[in-house]
Amino acid sequence: LEDGAEVVLFGVRLAEGDGAGQAARARLSGLVGAPVALTVRRPPDRWNRLAADVATREGDIARLLVGEGLALAD
């Protein structure tokens, strides 16, 4: 985030492996700089990352990634 905080998408795991993992990271990197709305779901983890639902104009990011086959619902 702009303030340096890190966010972990709540309830999903990004795809792993060369093709799917790279595609998931590319999809997320395309969101850099976009305005987001966060709903924090629990206190920061031991690495001070926030677990949150993240939404942009496109919709809920976790839902989009799952729908595109780039993440698994946890």
pLDDT at 41 (0 to 100): 95
Looking at residues 11-23, what average pLDDT do you find?
84
Residue 18 to residue 55: CA distance in whole angstroms: 26
pLDDT-based confidence at residue 15 (cuts at 50, 70, 90): confident
Model pLDDT for residues 25-61, shown as the tens digit of each residue: 888 888 888 899 999 999 999 999 999 999 999 899 9
Residues ≥6 apart with Cβ < 8 Å to 46? none
